[in-house]
Amino acid sequence: MRLPPSISSRTPLALAMADAFLLPHCLDYRIGSNTGIEILPGETDQVLHTDDSIYPVRIPGMQLQLNAMWSLCDFTQENGATRVVLGSHKPFDYDAGDQQPEPVLAVMPRGSVLFYLGNVLHGGGANCSNAPRMGLINTYSLGWLRQEVNQYLAVPPEKAKQYDDRVRRLLGYTKHGSSLGHCRIADEVWVRSEHDHTS
């Protein structure tokens, strides 16, 4: 399932969350990935994992990624609601006796969204129902990091022209700051549609 990136850019709450967690550490953020996730009947618990483990660095006090899991159907205990380990974004000191909490289920009706940081342990639950559990995960990453999905190939320029300026910026069709990602195009946003107004 592939949904257009405009879904992840036109939701004020999603962008407000990304603003709050990511903008303190970058000039702008990007869509890291848009992925449809389907847990089929009979699938077992997904291994608990973090999504920002794709980056080989940890910087104390800095979030690299924010995730938004959109429920395309009701997420229930029976059909594999996402399991989230609350507080797992904080360092644990096992020598001092810290214990990692058990995961909780993100039970939510269709159309809801679960926000969690990229360094939070989570995983899909087992689907004991007779229908698939479907969701859409959008990740937002710091603008100076390499995006998880190569958006220039996933959404090539001829396709990107169909989206508004904000979506194209979220896809990465602009430099970050004065020079990171620059090219020989003088315009700040590299891909323009025929509907854009330029000065």
Q: What number of CA atoms fall less than 13 Å from residue 114's CA on the CB side?
A: 26
Return the beta strands (E) in the chain as ranges.
Answer: 29-39, 65-71, 83-84, 104-105, 113-117, 122-123, 133-142
Q: pLDDT tens digits, residue range 133-148?
A: 999 999 999 999 999 9
pLDDT tier for residue 36 given thresholds of 50, 70 and 90: very high
Show the domains of the chain with their CATH numbers.
6-171 (2.60.120.620)
Tell me the C-alpha to C-alpha distance, in Å, between residue 168 and each of 63, 88, 172, 174, 186. 23, 33, 6, 8, 16
pLDDT at 186 > cutoff 60: no
pLDDT at 188 > cutoff 60: no
pLDDT at 176 > cutoff 90: no
**Model pLDDT, residue 174:** 82
Q: Is the pLDDT higher at 176 or at 65?
A: 65
pLDDT at 154 > cutoff 80: yes
Q: pTM of the prediction?
A: 0.81
Question: Region 147-162: what's the mean pLDDT?
Answer: 87
Average of per-residue pLDDT values in the chain: 85
Question: Region 177-182: what's the mean pLDDT?
Answer: 75
Are 162 and 185 within 8 A, CB to CB? no
Question: Region 84-89: what's the mean pLDDT?
Answer: 89
pLDDT at 103 > cutoff 60: yes
**Model pLDDT, residue 91:** 74
**Model pLDDT, residue 3:** 41
Determine what percent of the chain is predicted with pLDDT higher than 90.
Answer: 55
**Model pLDDT, residue 88:** 84
pLDDT at 11 > cutoff 60: yes
